[in-house]
Homo-oligomer: A and B are copies of this chain.
Amino acid sequence: MFVVDCDCHNGWNSADVLLPYLDGWWKDCYMRGERTGPPGSFPHGHRAWFHPEDFNRADVQPKNEDEHYEMMRDNHLNPNGINAAILTGDLPLEVSTLGNGHFAQALASAYNDWVINNWLPRDERFYGSLIVAPQDPPLAAAEVRRLGAHPKLVQVLASHGSTMPYGDPFYHPIYEACAEVGLPFSVHLGGNGGINTTSFAGGSPRYYSEAHTLFTQLAQTHLVSMIMNGVFEKYPSLKFIVIECGVSWVAPLIWRLDADWKALRKETPWVKKAPSEYVREHVRFTTQPLEQPANIEHLWAVLAAIHGRETLMFAADYPHWDQDDISAIKLPEEWREDVFGLNALRTYSRLAHLEPEARRAAAAI
């Protein structure tokens, strides 16, 4: 089977690796400015919910920059048979929490340059994400245009923590740039702090486990917003990818949204089709963390309801605490080739060239 891991986190030991990619003014901000940890920590507005176990697997503690790659290769890529891995960074996503959008985008751009120079050349299985700071959409759009032609950057990526739902016209300059360069716009769980502190419906929970369960809500808001603000009518080629936000909530949400659209569609006449149709055509969801109900048939029912064989893409989320074990993922047997690999090749245009290899892998089984 040909496997694409759509959420593989490349880390660092110190954010100082970004120094060569920061210019004088922002380098000064980075070196001398206030931050939330000791020298080498990444500046970001942290959330109120501290993970009581930290995020990383206890058995993955690289001691230097080279080991970050070597441990990923030896603990994940090789043993799990990963044929292509989409690197999603780690702390850089949190630039969305910073009030100063200029500094935030400077840090994201430094990350992008760093990943191009220091990660992509290490392994031919690697593909990268073009991280943007969404709080200043024209700056983010400029970054998309600066690097969007790179053959190994497969998506534009932002945290799912936001000041406004992502369908809001405020963000459309980013999608215009994405459509122009032919990259999907993807959101990854994160950024729930700083200028995005009011992240949950009904007020702030107290415990990390509550927050982790409710992080799905932001993805719900963004998905509804992208559809109902007509983003997919305005940018018909745009794909929207939801990473690390769970998948079983999508069907219940879209049942309700379809009903509301049907009853109230004169309010949003630019939404030409039922929301569920936009989901099937434009939206993809990565699997991790895949829900594990007592009765797996209950999960499969809600995944079938969103045409999961077409809309789901495998992700492991190495090296995080709740990484999904590839051998333990239970999906209908006939979905596996699509979900584990082919859907990613159909969704990420920069991966399409891998399809012959994937077909050979399928035939070889």
Write the residues of chain A forming the contact surface with B, with a CB cutoff of 8 angstroms: 52-53, 160-166, 168, 196, 198-210, 212-214, 216-218, 220-222, 224-225, 228-229, 246, 248-249, 251-253, 255-257, 259-261, 263-268, 289, 291-295, 297-299, 301-302, 304-305, 321-322
Q: How far does the Cβ of A74 sit from chain B's closest Cβ, in whole Å?
A: 25
Contact B202 A251 (CB under 8 A): no
Given A253-B249, A302-B301, A224 and B217 contact (CB-CB distance below 8 Å): no
Contacts of A207 in B (CB 8 A): 228, 267-268
Contact B298 A213 (CB under 8 A): no
Residue of B nearest to A300 (CB): B301
Contacting A202 at CB < 8 Å: which of B208, B221, B252, B289?
B221
Given A208-B267, A246-B256, A305-B298, A203 and B165 contact (CB-CB distance below 8 Å): yes
Given A210-B224, A210-B225, A253-B213, A165 and B205 contact (CB-CB distance below 8 Å): yes
Closest 10 CB pairs of A and B: A201-B217, A301-B301, A248-B252, A202-B218, A164-B203, A202-B221, A255-B291, A298-B305, A209-B260, A209-B264
Contact B199 A201 (CB under 8 A): yes
Residue of B nearest to A251 (CB): B298
Separation of A178 and B39 alpha carbons in the complex (Å): 52
Given A251-B248, A292-B259, A218 and B206 contact (CB-CB distance below 8 Å): no
Contacts of A295 in B (CB 8 A): 304-305
Residue of B nearest to A161 (CB): B202
Separation of A255 and B213 alpha carbons in the complex (Å): 9
Q: How far does the Cβ of A31 sit from chain B's closest Cβ, in whole Å?
A: 33
Contact B209 A302 (CB under 8 A): no
Contact B228 A214 (CB under 8 A): no
Contact A266 B52 (CB under 8 A): yes
Contacts of A166 in B (CB 8 A): 202
Q: How far does the Cβ of A337 sit from chain B's closest Cβ, in whole Å?
A: 23
Most interface-central of A203, A257, A260 (chain B CB within 10 A): A203
Separation of A301 and B204 alpha carbons in the complex (Å): 31
Contacting A160 at CB < 8 Å: which of B196, B202, B213?
B202
Separation of A217 and B220 alpha carbons in the complex (Å): 9
| 26 A-B residue pairings within 8 Å (CB atoms) | A164-B203, A164-B204, A203-B221, A205-B224, A205-B228, A206-B225, A206-B228, A207-B267, A209-B228, A209-B265, A213-B256, A213-B257, A214-B224, A216-B252, A217-B217, A246-B256, A251-B298, A252-B252, A252-B291, A255-B292, A255-B293, A256-B289, A259-B291, A297-B301, A298-B301, A301-B301
Contact A205 B225 (CB under 8 A): yes
Q: How far does the Cβ of A320 sit from chain B's closest Cβ, in whole Å?
A: 12
Separation of A255 and B299 alpha carbons in the complex (Å): 9
Contacts of A206 in B (CB 8 A): 165, 168, 225, 228-229
Contacting A298 at CB < 8 Å: which of B168, B205, B212, B302?
B302
Separation of A214 and B212 alpha carbons in the complex (Å): 18
Separation of A322 and B198 alpha carbons in the complex (Å): 30
Residue of B nearest to A222 (CB): B202
Contacts of A321 in B (CB 8 A): 263
Contact B260 A212 (CB under 8 A): yes
Separation of A94 and B126 alpha carbons in the complex (Å): 53
Residue of B nearest to A268 (CB): B207
Contact B246 A252 (CB under 8 A): yes
Contacts of A264 in B (CB 8 A): 52-53, 208-209, 212
